[in-house]
Structure formats: C-alpha cells, structure tokens
Homo-oligomer: A and B are copies of this chain.
Amino acid sequence: MPTVRVTRRAHFCSAHRIYRDDWSQEENREVFGDCSNPNWHGHNYILDVTVEGPVDPETGYVADLKVIKQVVKERVVDDVDHRNLNLEVPWLEGTIVSTENFAVAIWERIRGSLPSTVRLHRVFLQETPNNSVEYLGPEGD
C-alpha cells in the first residue's frame, strides 16, 4: 500500500517568556530582547502534527484523524491552551520555552501515544505568521 503523510492542525493561546533564571534580567534582555519581558507576553500558536504510514486498504485511512486530534488535544492542547508555558506545564519545566524546545517537547509528548500503524514524521509550530519551526525527530527523519 502507498505511504502517505497526514496532517492535523490545532490552535492554542499561551503566555510565555524566554529567559534563564541563572542570568540577570539585563543578560536576559540582551540575549532574548523583548521576549524575556518578566511580565510575560503570548501567542496564538498553530501546531501541525504530521504522521506517516501505509494506507489501510480496509478504511482508506493512514490514521483516523479523530484519533490524532484526540491525542494532540489530550497530550498537548489541554495542557497549554490559556496557560503559562513557563509556570503551568509540567513537561516544559526546566526548559527555555523557545519555539524550538517547545516543538521538540511536543514531539516527545505525542510520539508514544500515536496509533502503532503510523510513524510521527513532523511537528510544525508557528509562533507568529513570520516565525515558525519544524522538528523531524531525533534522526532528522
């Protein structure tokens, strides 16, 4: 059967800041600029989760997108939507919440919960219309 990639998009709104607490506020500002604002800022994130696998001849699906949607909801969106990424998300604790680190953490967060018939191919995370990242996993796909 052909191998196809399937993408499910999710949206969420979070507060965060980029900073290191072992640096002074001046050092943080110098390296991270406005993104280190101690009073936080936030974003409407767009998350695309792409999985890859053979098309099931019985259903025509690589994966039931309702299942992928549910995994992304339970493992990611419910934890981060209308939350502070630095203060309220256990699986981001101790992480500088850059878009890069956030995407890698989302990868780790969902890869074990996907149906066994698919392989996680890509996590794409858009922070603003002009800034985005994609992570293809530890083997760079």
Contacts and interface: CB of A to CB of B under 8 A. Distances in A.
B133 A103 contact: no
A41 B83 contact: yes
A25 B10 CA distance: 29
Interface in A124-141: 128-136, 138, 140
A75 interface: no
Interface in A68-97: 69, 81-84, 87-88, 95-97
A110 interface: no
Interface of A: 2-11, 13-16, 18, 20, 31-35, 37, 39-44, 55, 58-62, 64-66, 69, 81-84, 87-88, 95-101, 103-104, 128-136, 138, 140
